[in-house]
Structure 1
């Protein structure tokens, strides 16, 4: 499996995005932390979303930013060419889902933490 981009990454261990990184790491999934906060997640620098870094080999984007904040990033997220986008609870967005599905991107309204816990990631 390719990389998982964690959108909304934070260096704060009590946040769900950080916990998703921990679970991905424990299960040997490659992940890229991406966000607007500076810092690192498990020794990996958080890439600055404002710089719109190129990321190759993206399998999954897992979202941890609310729909209002997603609007500025629609084009960028789709240009990463993920195979799927996971809309975690509170990030559900029909507008982005429609745009992504028009590009052949699978969209799931699910919880990355639960998917990893039960082995269906």
Structure 2
């Protein structure tokens, strides 16, 4: 199973990251989550720490460009296969960094990818 890290996870049910966690779990994906507030959502523990997760296949971003900067080294350290830039998270600087480290990325919506069986 391919594990997804939701970066920018929220306990707020009105946030897209919250919905993404629910849909990823429902689709049978292993999910890890990092957010500002710790808690639990649909059986997924949200931590505020940059934990050294193993075997992360996909990182799906719910952080704007400015907030992503603090996570550049962390993202690279996890060596994901891909990073998904959800709407509002586009970041050409991070695209270049990922490309330099042979990590693929998509500018897409995790919810749409899941809904159309393209995840």
TM range (shorter): over 0.9
1:118 correspondence with 2:116: yes
CA distance in 2, matches of 1:72, 1:3: 22
CA distance in 1, matches of 2:13, 2:50: 24
The number of residue pairs the alignment matches comes to: 119
Shift in Å, 1:27? 0.7
Counterpart in the other structure of 1:20: 20
- Render the CA deviation track for 1:8-27: whole Å, top value 9, x for unaligned: 01111121001001111111
SS at match of 1:46: strand
Counterpart in the other structure of 2:34: 34
Contact 1:10 1:40 in 2 (8 A): no
CA distance in 1, matches of 2:78, 2:36: 17
Provide TM-score, normalisation by structure 2.
0.96
Unaligned runs of 5+ in 2: none
Unaligned runs of 5+ in 1: none
Moved segments of 4+, more than 4 Å? none
Counterpart in the other structure of 2:90: 92
CA RMSD of aligned residues (A): 0.9
